[in-house]
Amino acid sequence: MTATLALLRIELRLLGRDTTAWGTAIALPLLLGAVWFADLPPMGDGVGTAIVFQVVGLLVMTLHTVGTMSLVNRREQLVLKRWRSSEASTTGVLIGTIGVPAGLVVVQAAVLSVITMLAHGQAPASSTMLLVGVLSGVVTIGAVTFVVASFTRSSDHALITTFPVVALLMGGAVWAMMRPFDPLDWPVLAIPGGASVQLLRLGWDGPTQAGAGAAAWLGDAAASLGATALISLVATAAAVRVFRWEPRA
């Protein structure tokens, strides 16, 4: 744990020195979040939909794009190889590398969501479920990021390899928000990050079942949580098989 925390501090410093990564991780997501805050999306519940798009924007830019760039850069610089030979475990090395953009997603999502809700005078049905939605997205997109980084030769190439996931997640979010909420909407749940959108919608609107007890919340969240676990496990298993610790030829 101590080694992992040390790697997180090092990664934070390295990220701070990379102007492109810092702008992509901080400035651009906050700018887009401000746009959605000022001009609420026309579909769905305006405020709830804005929060969904803010979180999705953070997942694709701060976590997926910057996370892929960080993994590839550290591999090119042989940093991952050196860290892997240190006292830190393999899991600790990976958490240390991707943990900073993942943490930024959670912090920025909280800031944007609170500002949006206060400004429009609306509150979610469950802040806890909103947090679960954010964390489920971090887990899913974090796992997918390792897979994408496995096939990315350089940081410049990352702009190409990350695009399919960015397009799929952003397009999937728009598509999902145009459909009536259904906790068993399997086409939406099959999209990486789609389950997170469903959980965020559940957190804002509340359960579809009568009553608001724990059973109602769990019943509506079960399929999304299961989809998150399944996609994350599949992506993690794939990354374990194909991830390269040394620069790709």
Query: What HEC string does 80-145 produce?
Result: HHHHHCCCCCHHHHHHHHHHHHHHHHHHHHHHHHHHHHHHHCCCCCCHHHHHHHHHHHHHHHHHHH
- Taking CA atoms, 139 is separated from 23, 44, 120, 160, 230, in Å, by 23, 26, 30, 22, 11
Q: 127, 99, 102, 100: which is closest to 113 by C-alpha?
A: 127
Q: Is 207 exposed, middle or buried (0-12, 13-18, 19+ CB in 10 A)?
A: buried
Q: 31, 96, 28, 91: which is closest to 65 by C-alpha?
A: 28
Residue 67 in tokens: 């996370």
Number of structural domains the chain divides into: 1
**What pLDDT, on a 0 to 100 scale, did the predictor assign at position 14?**
76
Q: Is position 8 within any domain?
A: yes
Domain containing 181: what range?
Answer: 2-242
Q: Is position 248 within any domain?
A: no
Q: 169, 191, 157, 203: which is closest to 64 by C-alpha?
A: 169
Residue 166 CB contacts under 8 Å (≥ 6 apart), including other chains: 60, 61, 64, 65
Q: 119, 118, 105: which is closest to 54 by C-alpha?
A: 105
**What pLDDT, on a 0 to 100 scale, did the predictor assign at position 198?**
95
Q: Is position 247 within any domain?
A: no
What are 185-241's pLDDT values in tens digits? 999 999 989 999 999 999 998 887 766 677 888 889 999 999 999 999 998 888 888
Low-confidence stretches of the chain (pLDDT < 50) are: none
Cα 231 from Cα 236, distance rounded (Å): 8
Q: 31, 64, 50: which is closest to 201 by C-alpha?
A: 50
Q: Is position 238 within any domain?
A: yes
**What pLDDT, on a 0 to 100 scale, did the predictor assign at position 133?**
95
Q: Is position 191 within any domain?
A: yes
Q: Is position 249 within any domain?
A: no
172 with 94: CB under 8 angstroms? no
Residue 101 in tokens: 């953009």
Q: Is position 160 within any domain?
A: yes
User: pTM (2 decimals)?
Assistant: 0.91
197 with 183: CB under 8 angstroms? no
User: How far is CA 154 from its chain centroid?
Assistant: 22
